[in-house]
Amino acid sequence: MLKTRVAKFFPKWTIVDVISAKEVKKYESNHSIDIVISTVKIESLKFKTVIVSSLFNEKDKEVVLNELSK
């Protein structure tokens, strides 16, 4: 559901994968990641991470855009 909502708000983006929070550490060493959008806090990531609502709304979109502009 989150993937669908993010894709709706950012239609030009390519969402490469959807993984669990437990898989992130293993995944990050083998992939180039621009940003992680998550509904739960993930500790010690080396890249931009945004925590959003599972319903991903306009407010969440703004949070993501603000993080990307940093």
CB 64 within 8 A of CB 50: yes
The angle, 0 to 180 degrees and rounded to 10, between the axes of the packed helices 58-68 and 2-9 is 70
Task: Please count the other Cβ atoms lying within 10 Å of the Cβ belonging to residue 37.
Answer: 21
Tell me what pLDDT residue 44 has.
67
Mean pLDDT by 10 residues, the chain (70 residues): 95 93 82 89 83 96 95
Residue 34 in tokens? 């621009």
Tell me what pLDDT residue 25 has.
79
As a whole number of angstroms, the distance between CA 41 and CA 6 comes to: 18
pTM: 0.83
As a whole number of angstroms, the distance between CA 12 and CA 40 comes to: 25
